[in-house]
Amino acid sequence: MKDKNLNRREFLKTLAGASAVVVAGGNILVYAQEQDLPQGAEGKLTVIHRTEYFSEVQDLFRADVEEFAASKGIQLDISTANPEMFGDFMAKMLAAVQAGNAPDLAYHSLSVPQLYGLGLVEDVTNVVEQAVSMYGEVVPQTAERNAVQDGKWWAVPFISNATGWFARKDVFDAKGISMDDLTTWDGRREAALEVSDPDNQMWGWGVTVNQSGDGHGFIMNIIHSFGGSITDETGLKVNFDSPETLAAVEWLTETYTSDKYKPMLPPGIESWTDVSNNEAYLAGTVAVTQNAFSVYAKAKADGNPVFENTAVLHAGVGPVGYALESGANSWMTIFKGTKNRAAAEELILHMLTPEVFTPMVQLGGGLFLPAYKNLWTEDLVNTDPNFKVIEEILFNPIIYNGTSHPALPNAAADAVLAASIPSQMMANITTGRMTPEEAVKDAHKKIVDIFEEGGIMQ
């Protein structure tokens, strides 16, 4: 049996390898038509970037990069590169790094612990320190926990964002329900039931537990709110099967299978994907949902009447006694073996300058926000009445590590989501295949398998 007292780097490496196997095994969405990674070369700055929700932000990002390259007389190869378009992205990037022709720079939302554990990225501590000296501390606090390994930064925080809960003030007001009544999970659920009116196409609860980013995030947040977790604080010992996890899963089971709460659930919610709740909220058929700010930004951009009636809420409070919430980041990473490091570093800092960055924030509708405290100016917060709640989430002094909580973010937790274990657990319950207790034990076993495949024996 392997020694459990591995150092942090060994732990990350073994689990990143396991995660790469999970990804390559097809447990994440992979489009049928894949594309090859662009190849880096000396004298040509190769940049790949994620797709933005709003094309205007993406076009501006791309134009700024092109303008930078032109001003420096640098040859540029820039392309959009969604990881899901590459299939087994990590495996392809690993092959490119090993072949010495990886892209120079990427702007993305990938798992930094995985990138680091697989040895795909360069130390960028000097770039982060320079950004902090100009723009203040990085937000949210979880950024450091995601991107700092062995005392060094392996990704530059570029933007911050948050998942929010969105509620129809007008719908709740009509029933005399204050937003303060939605503070706890129990209160939110009861209020959603009270405002439900299926005969008039209004369902209170617009959150799924189906396989999706939204579903997994919600399931894990409820589990953490009840005191459950995937592992202990070390991140090494799986303790998913606990009384706290079971209590959370029983709460979810009651929400999605009981006759009491059936009137608040929209038809087909058990098979919703990441876009379904957006569509339902924008169509005015659900009173509360959880989502990235894309749903809010879309309502604003389209002049949808739900926008003016939307309140942004904090995460609900469960038995632990406080809301578990934190923002997230998207990153700039320089890949191992880059032949154009100086240009890549200069580009990152150029893209963070307020005159370049702020116009993208203004177009981003809450999806594209600063990752440095001093860029959160009063003018920015006053841009939108709900931005104050986003600021509170991002500046939350209680550190919430997300999926891995209370452990530091790690590749093992990413692998658990990549394998869709939380939603599989709930599907086993909602279809009647298992009781909550059986489903929790089954999920625990699958999590143990992932850890042991990565060399962390239980």
The answer on pLDDT for 8 being more than 50 is no
The answer on pLDDT for 391 being more than 70 is yes
Same domain (yes/no): 174, 321:
yes
Contact 230, 238 (CB under 8 A): yes
The answer on pLDDT for 415 being more than 80 is yes
Same domain (yes/no): 288, 197:
yes
- Residue 314 DSSP code: P
* Helix residue ranges, H only, 332-458: 341-352, 354-364, 378-381, 387-394, 411-418, 421-430, 436-453
Which residue(s) pair with 335 in the sheet? 121
Same domain (yes/no): 338, 425:
no
In which band, very low, low, confident or very high, does the pLDDT at 456 lie, cut at 50, 70 and 90? confident
Same domain (yes/no): 238, 305:
yes
Q: Is residue 317 part of a domain?
A: yes
Same domain (yes/no): 307, 384:
no
Q: What is the pLDDT of residues 422-446, one digit of tens each?
A: 999 999 999 999 999 999 999 999 9
* Helix residue ranges, H only, 331-408: 341-352, 354-364, 378-381, 387-394
The confidence score (pLDDT) of residue 40 equals 66
The confidence score (pLDDT) of residue 18 equals 42
The 10 Å CB-count burial string (b at 16+, else e) for 130-159 is: bbbeebeebbbbbbbbbbbbeeebbbbbbb
The confidence score (pLDDT) of residue 7 equals 47
The confidence score (pLDDT) of residue 82 equals 59
Same domain (yes/no): 153, 171:
no
pLDDT, the chain, mean: 89
Same domain (yes/no): 284, 381:
no
Q: What is the pLDDT of residues 159-173, one digit of tens each?
A: 999 989 999 999 999
Name the strands in the sheet holding 369-370, side by side, starting at the edge strand that comes first in the sequence. 75-80, 44-49, 105-108, 328-334, 156-161, 369-370
Domain containing residue 115: 22-162+328-396
Closest CA to 15 of 117, 121, 111, 151: 117
Same domain (yes/no): 234, 104:
no
Q: Is residue 458 part of a domain?
A: no
Q: What is the pLDDT of residues 262-300, one digit of tens each?
A: 999 999 999 999 899 999 999 999 999 999 888 998 898
The answer on pLDDT for 229 being more than 90 is yes
- Tokens 């570029």: give the residue: 158
CATH number for the domain spanning 353: value is 3.40.190.10
The answer on pLDDT for 348 being more than 70 is yes
Same domain (yes/no): 251, 376:
no
Provide the domain count of the chain. 2
In which band, very low, low, confident or very high, does the pLDDT at 85 lie, cut at 50, 70 and 90? very low
- Residue 238 DSSP code: B
The answer on pLDDT for 6 being more than 80 is no
3-class secondary structure, 312: strand
Contact 356, 158 (CB under 8 A): no
Q: Is residue 17 part of a domain?
A: no
Q: Is residue 207 part of a domain?
A: yes
The answer on pLDDT for 24 being more than 60 is no
Distance in angstroms (rounded) separating the CA atoms of residues 55 and 257:
40
The confidence score (pLDDT) of residue 272 equals 96
The confidence score (pLDDT) of residue 34 equals 45
Q: What pTM does this model have?
A: 0.79
Same domain (yes/no): 266, 353:
no
Same domain (yes/no): 149, 51:
yes
Q: Is residue 413 part of a domain?
A: no
In which band, very low, low, confident or very high, does the pLDDT at 382 lie, cut at 50, 70 and 90? confident
Q: Is residue 406 part of a domain?
A: no
- Tokens 């589990």: give the residue: 223
Q: Is residue 29 part of a domain?
A: yes
Closest CA to 35 of 78, 77, 75, 92: 92
- When pLDDT is averaged across residues 375-402 and rounded to a whole number, the result is 89
Same domain (yes/no): 289, 194:
yes
Q: Is residue 3 part of a domain?
A: no
The confidence score (pLDDT) of residue 37 equals 60
